[in-house]
Amino acid sequence: MYHPVKAKKYFGQHFLTDNNIALKIVTSLQDKNNVLEIGPGTGILTKYLFNIPDINLKLVEIDKESIEYLLKIYPELKGKIISADFMQYDIKTLFNSTFNIIGNFPYNISSQILFKILENRDIVNEVVGMFQKEVAVRISSDCGNKNYGILSVLLQAFYNIEYLFTVNEQVFTPHPKVKSAVIRMVRNNVKSLECDEKIFFSIVKTAFNQRRKILKNALSSFKFSVTENISVLNNENILIGLLLKRAEQLNVDEFVFLAKNVTLKEITQ
């Protein structure tokens, strides 16, 4: 199939070619006011986005060939496309208020994109994106599931996440070697965690890096003791119980509980 822009492996490009799926992705975005599209490529999502009434749309694209093509086919995009690497760009400068992100994300940097969104969670309200299916499943998995991991906990601490639908390899050019999936992330009401967030992040990462071990052993470099004065005995029992579990068995609130009961001076992480 002829394609107007050559997909570049070093950018991780796989261009979506199915208009029905593209429209389904755009429709899945609930808040269509301020919208940033990451990696528009040949504009299969863009053509539906810029026709939405009153949308304030901006695009970040690293591929200059894609930008040239988009401006030729859709001259209305002039002034809306930023020629930049999303991972290096300060997205805080894009809008005067909170905004939403949409895109068919390059699979080779999808985790990095998610961590950047997490860092900017105070300004990113909603995300609808295409990911490698394995990543989408991991992000949306609940505790107790073997796919539940670091990204699951960190993102679910601040976003409500839905796995929307699976996408087959045949609707891309070139065909990826894996299935894809679309998820939606909507910012929850948690402004900040009831613990030191650096400690929380460190505990989660350390716990899952040794996920086969019970937490008492996986988190041996941390010193835990109950720090709350209310129901100290009860909290000690909860703490003991949590440390006898494995990382995938704890939900976000339980990881927060562990972070609240760390003796700071004895952390070696």
Domain ranges in the chain are 9-187, 197-266
- The pLDDT of residue 268 is 46
**What mean pLDDT is predicted for residues 66-82?**
93
pLDDT (tens digit, 9 = 90+) per residue, 92-115?
Answer: 999 999 999 999 998 888 999 999
**Structure tokens, 175:** 């065909």
User: Is 50 exceeded by the pLDDT of residue 265?
Assistant: no
User: Is 60 exceeded by the pLDDT of residue 229?
Assistant: no
CA neighbor of 218 nearest in space, from 229, 208, 230, 233: 208
CATH 1.10.8 corresponds to the domain 197-266: yes
User: Is 70 exceeded by the pLDDT of residue 91?
Assistant: yes
Q: Do domains 9-187 and 197-266 have the same CATH topology?
A: no
Confidence of residue 228 (pLDDT cuts 50, 70, 90): low
pLDDT (tens digit, 9 = 90+) per residue, 128-160?
Answer: 999 999 999 999 999 999 999 999 999 999 999
Residue 172, number of CB atoms within 10 A of its CB: 20
User: Is 70 exceeded by the pLDDT of residue 35?
Assistant: yes
Confidence of residue 7 (pLDDT cuts 50, 70, 90): low
Q: pTM for this one?
A: 0.90
**What mean pLDDT is predicted for residues 115-127?**
97
**Structure tokens, 46:** 């863009």
Q: Kindly give, in sequence order, each residue whose CB lies less than 8 Å from that of residue 175, ignoring residues fewer than 6 positions away.
A: 14, 169
Contact 48, 18 (CB under 8 A): no
Fold held by 9-187: Rossmann fold (3.40.50)
- The pLDDT of residue 13 is 59
**What mean pLDDT is predicted for residues 162-180?**
89
